[in-house]
Structure 1
Amino acid sequence: MGQYSIGDLAQSSLLRLQSTRMKADLLQLSQELSTGMVADVGVHLAGDLGYYADVEKNLRLLDGYDLAAKEASQFADSTQSVLDRVASLLGSSVQSTLPAATTAYQDVRDHASMDARNDLEAVIASLNGTSAGRSLFAGAATDTLPLISSTVFIDTMLAALPPITDPASLVTAVEDWFSDPAGFDAMAYQGSTNDISPVPIGEDLLVNMSVRADSDPLKEVMKGLALAAVATDPAWGFDHLEQVEVFDAASGIMLTAQSRLTALQSDIGAAQERIETTLTRNAAARIGFEQARLSLVGADPFETATRLDDVQLRLESLYAVTARMSRLSLVNYF
């Protein structure tokens, strides 16, 4: 009976081929053991990828929604923080303006005007704040500061006022400047008249966080502070009773502004709550889709580890045989 053999070169090529295959198997099994997923999804699912593709698509959608929701959360948190600051500054001025509306002491009124001016400048600086490089209160123009500099705001308003003859004319002039499109809106507001677009944070879920510096509640805040800030301006020539009249009007505007500002904070708070609720819902949905993916293409860790040990043992055996064959010599047969 004849015997068949292969030459040394063919045998060497065969050993290299076996080594390459086992190394590839070793790499694949190591990957599956570390990731917990099969390396070749198509083979594992026998080409039926429809359900798996749908699961992957939903996971990618959740990635996008989560990123948008987290950015929206940061924007809303920053907006709320500024509104809290504005409310605090307004409350401080209310505390000094109310006594100024009843006192006969000039020092008290001068102090109240100075407080109002400082608080107005701080409010404007706060409304010009940004989050991740985007303006918070400029509407769709997120690359623009919404208001002119706080240091020129009062001067810009005063330069636009008509001649003032009495407290009533001052109050009317300041109110008109804030409500006239050719006044505050044209001279002090630099942002967009369009709101920032609602942000999609989930399937069929949008959140609107737009609060512009030209909104009525914020204009009311600045109006009350501005009126109190100029109440004692010597240019008017008001006596103490006339100054008291201006402070009385300013305090009334500020108290109205406080309630409107609270409503604005409540709106942002509702947006924050909606974002957090959606993030929680998205996280629960993600768990469900990840479990579905694991059931489809998950690699059994025990089976994978067993196969990995087997391939490693066979590869070591192959290396031992190769090394042994490399030492063969005809001298050993004589």
Structure 2
Amino acid sequence: MKTSFISSAAVSQAMRYSLVRSQGDLVKAQKEVSTGKVADAGLALGARTASSISFARDFERLNGIVDSNGLVSSRLSATQKALDQITLAAQDFLATLTSASSGDALSAVTQASGAATLEALTALLNSSFNGEHLFAGTNTDVKPIDDFNAAGSTAKAAFDAAFLAHFGFAQNDPAANAITKPDMEAFLISVEPQFTGPGWQANWSNATDQAIVSRIALNETAVTSVSANNDGVRKLAMAAATISDLLSSEVSIAGQSAAIARAVTLVGEAIADLGTLRAETGITEKRVTDASQRIKLQSDLFERQILDLEGVDPYEASTRVADLLSHIETSYALTARIQQLSFLRFLG
């Protein structure tokens, strides 16, 4: 009979190898517990890995659209609030103009209302959301509207030049006190292209006519922004600018009356145009919401398919983690005991 010996170093080394494997298994098991999926899909699924990758790709793509739609909905909501405030300002302005046309409002009150409306309109059109200007069309990094009353304003300079060219004198010239109603009506017709024509983008607006188009579903897009070049905005700007400017000048009562009458028409049309714009924005909001709901249903289906392929039993995974932890603790204890074994200690 032959006897042999086993080295304590060899036993200790074997225990270390076992410990390393257990620690690797523990990392995988803990990952499965935290994610609810297998740690290595390729190893667990084999040939079915391609299906899992395809489902995951579609799942992420759908979730990306849902996230994008969330930003689009927030931008549309902010736009809708701004349009509501513009409409309220226009309605208040129209009430003042109506009183002025019937002789119940002072000229100074009407002029102040026009100035306040123009200031509010400019501020609201230049509002931004998430670092992007809401009414700039695709030119979202630039303020869409220049301040009419700011120093060096091209819009104010163009308006003054048009007045001078038409009448031969400035608004504050005493000769303006002789302007007749037909004269003022003719001037307002001549200056209108500065607002409703090419002069708007030349002197007032930095916005683009082209709006932002967003993909709200895999096979659906929508116009998801509003431009400051909208007809209602232009008409309201013309009414507010003419009243603000002409009623603070030497223009005659007859001329001011003609300006007020034209402003009443413009503001009424502007309110109607803004109402249409608000309705269109609301319809787009609803489309985005509905699209997100449909996509979430599709996303849930893909998620269930992925879980069917890669999902693990959470209770089984937790039990495996506990067993591995117990095994590792035992291995540490045995390794420490083996390392304490010594022939000299035995002889002692």
TM over 0.5: yes
Per the alignment, residue 166 of structure 2 pairs with: 163
- How far apart are residue 307 of structure 1 and its match? 2.1
Per the alignment, residue 172 of structure 1 pairs with: 189
CA distance, structure 2, for counterparts of residue 234 and residue 15 of structure 1: 98
Task: Between 55-64 and 145-154, report the one with greater CA deviation.
Answer: 145-154
Selected match of 1:209 from 224, 231, 242: 224
Task: Provide closer, same or farther for how the CA distance between residues 143 and 178 of structure 1 changes in structure 2, counting only shifts above 3 A.
Answer: same
Aligned residue type for 2:44: H
Q: Is the 8 A contact 2:89 2:117 kept in 1?
A: yes
Task: Between 52-61 and 148-157, report the one with greater CA deviation.
Answer: 148-157
- How far apart are residue 272 of structure 1 and its match? 1.1
Per the alignment, residue 122 of structure 1 pairs with: 120
Per the alignment, residue 192 of structure 1 pairs with: 208
- How far apart are residue 88 of structure 1 and its match? 1.1
Q: Is the 8 A contact 1:220 1:257 kept in 2?
A: yes
Q: What SS does structure 2 have at the residue aligned with 1:200?
A: strand
Q: Is the 8 A contact 1:147 1:189 kept in 2?
A: yes
Moved over 6 A (4+): none
Aligned residue type for 2:321: L
| Structure 1 unmatched ranges of 5 or more | none
Task: Provide closer, same or farther for how the CA distance between residues 187 and 108 of structure 1 changes in structure 2, counting only shifts above 3 A.
Answer: same
- How far apart are residue 150 of structure 1 and its match? 3.9
Per the alignment, residue 142 of structure 2 pairs with: 144
CA distance, structure 1, for counterparts of residue 3 and residue 238 of structure 2: 107
Per the alignment, residue 246 of structure 1 pairs with: 259
Q: Is the 8 A contact 1:101 1:245 kept in 2?
A: no
Note the alpha carbon deviations across 1:23-59, whole angstroms, 9 max, x for none.
Answer: 1112211221122111011111124212101111012
Aligned residue type for 2:80: Q
Equivalent positions of 1:1-334 (< 5 A) are 1-2=1-2, 5-103=5-103, 108-152=106-150, 155-161=156-162, 162-164=165-167, 165=179, 166-181=183-198, 183-193=199-209, 195-236=210-251, 238-239=252-253, 241-330=254-343, 331-332=345-346
CA distance, structure 1, for counterparts of residue 5 and residue 186 of structure 2: 115
Q: Is the 8 A contact 2:196 2:235 kept in 1?
A: no
Task: Provide closer, same or farther for how the CA distance between residues 292 and 75 of structure 1 changes in structure 2, counting only shifts above 3 A.
Answer: same
Q: Is the 8 A contact 1:97 1:247 kept in 2?
A: yes
Note the alpha carbon deviations across 1:157-206, whole angstroms, 9 max, x for none.
Answer: 4323232452212321332322331x22211112334x133111221121
Q: What SS does structure 1 have at the residue aligned with 2:46?
A: coil
CA RMSD in angstroms comes to 2.2
CA distance, structure 2, for counterparts of residue 150 and residue 283 of structure 1: 46
Percent sequence identity is 24
| Structure 2 unmatched ranges of 5 or more | 168-178
CA distance, structure 1, for counterparts of residue 283 and residue 136 of structure 2: 21
Per the alignment, residue 172 of structure 2 pairs with: none
CA distance, structure 1, for counterparts of residue 75 and residue 26 of structure 2: 48
CA distance, structure 2, for counterparts of residue 324 and residue 9 of structure 1: 12
Task: Provide closer, same or farther for how the CA distance between residues 8 and 167 of structure 1 changes in structure 2, counting only shifts above 3 A.
Answer: same
Aligned residue type for 2:274: L
Aligned residue type for 1:31: K
Aligned residue type for 2:244: A
Count of residue correspondences: 328
- What TM-score, normalized by structure 2, do the two folds share? 0.87
Q: Is the 8 A contact 2:148 2:156 kept in 1?
A: no
